[in-house]
Amino acid sequence: MKLAVKRPGSSTSFSDSLKEESLLHFCWNEDGTIDMAFHLYDAGGELVADSGGITPVVPVRICAADGEVLLDIPVELDQHICYRLYNCTGSLLTSSDGSRTHIFSFLKMGKL
């Protein structure tokens, strides 16, 4: 997935379908900015990082205690982002290295 310019008002979200918990969300605004929100767990189901609500997209690399990359947003928005999204029980819902994306059980995606 790339965060480059998309139609204003569009959004992409990744949620745990069992708990209805939003794990990662991006929204493209009318003024050309992009907002994000995240709630990231590791493979053990421990909360690693939370954006505290919707914030402007910034380059970020969030890793679990064992070094596993959970979210990597590069400086240049036309580059692929990488992510590994676990739910609160430690089940892997989806992962992407920028080239390939894997989708597993209990992932709910939303696009506008």
CB 81 within 8 A of CB 34: no
Q: Which residues of the chain have pLDDT under 70?
A: 5, 111-112
CB 1 within 8 A of CB 12: yes
Domain-embedded: residue 5: no
Its domain, for residue 79, covers 11-97
Q: What is the pLDDT of residues 10-36, one digit of tens each?
A: 999 999 998 999 999 999 999 989 999
Domain-embedded: residue 103: no
The predicted pLDDT at position 5 comes to 67
The predicted pLDDT at position 112 comes to 53
Domain count, the chain: 1
Domain-embedded: residue 80: yes
The predicted pLDDT at position 28 comes to 92
Among 86, 1, 4, 91, residue whose Cα is nearest residue 47: 86
Domain-embedded: residue 102: no
Domain-embedded: residue 47: yes
105 token code pair: 């059980």
